[in-house]
Amino acid sequence: MISKSGQTAKLLRSCYDDVDLDQSDRPAFAVHLDFSDYEAEVPQHHHKQGQLILALHGAITCRTENGIWIVPPDCGVGIPGGVPHSNQVTSNARLSYLFVQPEAAQLPQECCTLSVSPMLREMILRLADVPVNSAPDDHVGRMVRVLLDELAQMPIQGLDLPASGHPKIAAITAALMAEPSDRRTLGDWAAHVAVSERSLKRLMVQETGLTFGRWRRQLHLVIALRELASGGTVQRVSSDLGYESPTAFIVMFKKALGTTPTRYFAS
């Protein structure tokens, strides 16, 4: 039986048409993947090229040693070349992968979630129709130049959860990712990882740049976006995250993203 990761790798190889990505000298190229039948996880890997993973439907979660990025519909995660990362894809996801040579454009030097304009989205989809190993074409070349100019203008969204390799922070992260409704206080967690509350408070800010309260809200936001994008209801997601009511969850969501979950995904 082929594993989910194996299915993903097989699908990727099919889309790349046996082209060695690291040997390709095209300024940019794209492929399209459909995960409508199963969830999938791509193990840690890296590319020479910078990469933008665009979510057309569903969601993808990207993990590096420094953080976790969620990519809801009409957003993309930018991954610099050479950065090891793994991807987890919802079962309803449709994605486009854009690869950009390091010298072709000035892209963000750190992983980030980007807004994707309708114009950029359509150009990436059009580029994905061009076989990766096709001969250079003036029309495609002009489109790629415009695409890269547009990509450089896309605003960065705060849809990430800072991560840490510190064992105590990593243990808290793993526990809350597995059980996000856990409402233990900072003091409770300090006792759990055998440090003083003051030390854990300082360590959390040092390692993530956020206070524990802000970091946990960001964790809830990342999980909520993933679950809502995969078809979860506001009622179910708010309950899974431990909110007393859907209204309390909506208040948190609106404070973070400026709109309600329903309007966010409707747009």
Contact criterion met (CB below 8 Å) for 140 and 133: no
Cα–Cα dist 37/90, whole Å: 10
Cα–chain center distance at 85: 10
Contact criterion met (CB below 8 Å) for 213 and 219: no
CA separation (Å) from 49 to 85, 103, 212? 13, 9, 35
Cα–Cα dist 85/110, whole Å: 12
Single-letter code of the amino acid located at 22: D
Q: Which residues of the chain have pLDDT under 70?
A: 1-24, 36-38, 267
> Is residue 52 left, alpha or beta, with left meaning phi > 0 and alpha meaning psi from -120 to 50?
beta
Cα–chain center distance at 65: 13
Cα–Cα dist 109/112, whole Å: 9
Contact criterion met (CB below 8 Å) for 31 and 134: no
pLDDT at 17: 44
Fold of domain 164-266: Arc Repressor Mutant, subunit A (1.10.10)
pLDDT at 92: 78
Cα–Cα dist 242/239, whole Å: 5
Any idea which residue has 């995904």 for tokens?
A: 265
Contact criterion met (CB below 8 Å) for 52 and 104: no
Sign of CA dihedral 65, 228, 10, 128: negative
Cα–Cα dist 24/41, whole Å: 25
pLDDT at 13: 45
pLDDT at 36: 66
Cα–Cα dist 18/133, whole Å: 9
The whole model's pTM is what?
0.81
Any idea which residue has 């519909």 for tokens?
A: 73
CATH 2.60.120.10 fits 4-157, yes or no: yes
For 36-66, write each residue's pLDDT tens digit: 666 778 888 888 899 999 988 888 889 998 8
Contact criterion met (CB below 8 Å) for 180 and 232: no
pLDDT at 89: 86
Cα–Cα dist 8/1, whole Å: 13
pLDDT at 23: 60
Domain residues of the chain, as ranges?
4-157, 164-266
pLDDT at 230: 85
